[in-house]
Amino acid sequence: MGGSGSGAGSFFMVLLRNFDVLAGPVISLVYPLYASVRAIESKSPVDDQQWLTYWVLYSLITLFELTFAKILEWIPIWPYAKLILTCWLVLPYFTGAAYVYEHYADKSKWGGSHHTMYDETY
């Protein structure tokens, strides 16, 4: 009967070793989907900017992974680095996607304007 404690310990170790596999989809898909729906329903453009930028970056990361899959297999830290990057992009404390937009994609800071034909249509 003393083996039940080691079974729980083994289960915990399996969870810990596969944390990136378990937490990755929740952090990179489930929460952003929920937050994106909330952003659609809100009147604030700030959250729209955060989540639209996130989905563009998520797509770029996915394309990067698909393109360099054979190389990334040899980098054991990649899943954890991706998880940390995704947390930075997603979590409201950091709002990394909004940071990327404001510092690298916002045309008004590069001398352009936000006004487009799309704005006139809608």
The answer to whether residue 1 sits within a structural domain is no
pTM of the model: 0.74
Highest mean pLDDT among 3-12, 88-97, 109-118: 88-97
Q: What is the mean pLDDT of residues 6-15?
A: 78
The answer to whether residue 117 sits within a structural domain is no
Count of domains for the chain: 1
Q: What percent of the chain has pLDDT over 70?
A: 83
pLDDT in tens, 36-69: 999 999 999 989 999 999 999 999 999 999 999 9
CA distances (Å), 15 to each of 24, 28, 81, 99, in order?
Answer: 13, 18, 18, 32
Domain containing 23: what range?
A: 19-105
- Asked if pLDDT for residue 34 goes beyond 90, the answer is yes
